[in-house]
A and B are shown apart, each in its own frame.
Chain A
Amino acid sequence: MPEEQKKTPEEILEEAKKMIGMETEPVPFQYPLEYEPIRRYCLMIDDDNPLFLDPEFAKKTRYGGVVYPPFAPFGIMNRGSPEKMANLGKGGEMIIPPTPGRYFINMAQEWEWFTPAIVGDRLTAKGRLGDVYIKPIQIDPKAFWVITETHITNQRDEKVCIFKNILLCHRSPEEVAEDV
């Protein structure tokens, strides 16, 4: 692209802001919630909670079955291939606005839960762009901050949880130097 046609961060932000509130189509999880991913998820942090791992125990609780650990929908969302993960914006799971930088870092997450997810449930995710703005960081005075939301529902269309990712997107030092 010729230099004179290159958009400034402010121009890119103007385009990005038009996407706030935009939602993806609902994307059903490929499989019902299963025992085995929970086992691997719990193993990773030495979690031996019987509510997540012991079907006999879980059956006798008020949930009536093995419960999905509260933060696990994020892990399951990532299920797939490295290529799929690198193209979540293109795959329809997330709304990613245009940004001047290529380097994304997840800076924070917020969660709210409404009803438990039980093994056998069929979940659906819908993405939404919550916000985008410029806030300087040490290495990039025009770093972009992107807030994405993921709304998870079950097969009864009940809200399971909402989580927000607060993403920082910055440019390389060379790109920042070009902008000055």
Chain B
Amino acid sequence: MERKQIYWEDVEVDQEIPTGYSLKIDITRMVMQVSGTQDYYAVHHDRDFAHSQGVPDIFLNTGFLTAAAGRLLTDWIGTEGSLKKFRIEMRRMNLLGDTMWVKGKVTDLHARLTCASNNPKQPACLRRSSSACSRRRSVPGGTRGTP
């Protein structure tokens, strides 16, 4: 189950994120959505209720969508990478019967100094902010971050 680890030097603007994937949104996936997010709002699992609310069918909830985006990013940045900031906007519903594609592209890079070692011989580490960050290949240390 070992994953490939990417580093700062591996990433370039306009690069496609290579860990994209798709999921078929069938009724089993809808059940897994409720199990995984514990979101019991009926518009996500009860077709009659969804129709009564004026929507075409049951649709995926926000927790599922953030989890799906999270998988794309955490698969990509590897177990040494960390997410720092994230924003998601809902533009249209992912309905029962749809196929959802999750993919991404690097649009910008930021480097900032966020930690410094107490050991003067050890350099501070650079981390990438925005949606993902990873350590430089040349830096042995690092702060505890969120994957």
Contact = CB atoms under 8 A, between A and B. Distances in A.
A67 B139 CA distance: 23
B3, B32, B64, B147 — which one has the most chain A CB atoms within 10 A of its CB?
B147
A62 B90 CA distance: 34
Contacts of B64: 44-45
A75 B36 contact: yes
Q: What DSSP secondary structure best describes chain A's contact surface?
A: mixed
A116 B3 contact: no
A45 B3 contact: no
Most buried by B among A78, A85, A115, A165: A78
Nearest to B86: A111
A50 B29 CA distance: 22
A136 interface: no
A49 interface: yes
B40 A108 contact: no
B36 A50 contact: no
A80 B68 contact: no
Nearest to B75: A49
B89 A50 contact: no
A85 B71 contact: no
A44 B88 CA distance: 19
Nearest to A44: B36
Contacts of B41: 82, 85-86
Contacts of A72: 67
Given A45-B64, A45-B71, A115-B146, A50 B1 contact: yes
10 contacts: A44-B29, A44-B35, A44-B67, A51-B147, A62-B144, A69-B67, A74-B37, A80-B38, A108-B89, A113-B83
